[in-house]
Amino acid sequence: MADTEQKARAYFYRHSLVVRITHWVNVLCMTLLLMSGLQIFNAHPALYVGSASTFDDPVLSMGAVRGEDGRPIGVTQILGKQFDTTGVFGLSVTGNRWTSRGFPSWATIPGYQDLATGRRWHFFFGWLFVINGLVYVGYTIFTGHWRQLVPTGAQLRHIGASIRQHLLLRFPKGEEAKTYNVLQKLAYFGVIFVAVPILILAGLTMSPGVDAAFPWLLDIFGGRQTARTIHFICAALILLFVIVHIVMVLISGVWNNIRSMITGRYRIEPEEQPHAAE
């Protein structure tokens, strides 16, 4: 019985070497880009719409104010609504004392406030991220791998069933597990071909040198401050995707998923067969 079950568990070569390498380079780049980006944001923890900073009307802002008792509190303002975020945003512990800053020190590179160093880290890993992305996109086009990221009509018609299966934590087995499901395809396609390109273009639009060469970028994004806000929103959406991705990896089989992204080999669980009548 044990031998039969072991044979039924087939190993499928799921990820090529190029996909695995670009994946882990992305992990490195995205982690350091996020942390250095938060360092840059902390230099002026507010977002605006338009070409100039409208200090009295930010889309989002973080900072510290004095409470009624005279003690400082962290305040995050979103579209005019204020929230007490002491200890997380606006006011957090740095070393042994409370410090007014957007994001806490543990979330930024470097941990102390240093805009110049944060920018150097961000630009270096930003260009590495772009180069790595071009390698991946070129590979997907050349090999036809992009077809694995585009949902079929049949999958889109059954998207409701796929959502229900995910909510019930029921994951594909057998032949169905060899391809991405419709939710995975929509998420990967949306991040790779929509969110990331907008993120990069919005980031480039914040550069005066790029604006001088390509002034139409400012028109597309509606101003440098709008580009900064869009860049921040896209980064937040990608972070949300990463969090969901990690959770799904954990609950659908940690070692199987990690092994497939290291060796390429993914174990396929056998489909449950109905018991024959005795």
Report domain extents, the chain: 7-45+106-268, 58-102
pLDDT of residue 272: 60
The pLDDT > 70 percentage for the chain reads 94
Mean pLDDT of the chain: 89
pLDDT of residue 277: 44
pLDDT of residue 9: 60
| pLDDT(228) > 50 | yes
pTM value surpassing 0.85: yes
pLDDT of residue 262: 93
Q: What is the mean pLDDT of residues 188-199?
A: 94
What class is the 7-45+106-268 domain? mainly alpha
- For the ranges 35-39, 111-115, 127-131, the lowest mean pLDDT is seen at 111-115
- Reduce the secondary structure of the chain to three states and give it as a string: CHHHHHHHCEEEECCCHHHHHHHHHHHHHHHHHHHHHHHHHHHCCEECCCCCCCCCCCCEEEEEEECCCCCEEEEEEECCEEEECCCCCEEEEECCEEEEECCCHHHCCCCCCCHHHHHHHHHHHHHHHHHHHHHHHHHHHHHCHHHHHCCCHHHHHCHHHHHHHHHCCCCCCHHHHHCCCHHHHHHHHHHHHHHHHHHHHHHHHCCHHHHHHCCHHHHHHCCHHHHHHHHHHHHHHHHHHHHHHHHHHHHHHHHHHHHHHHCCEEEECCCCCCCCCC
More confident site: 71 or 38: 38
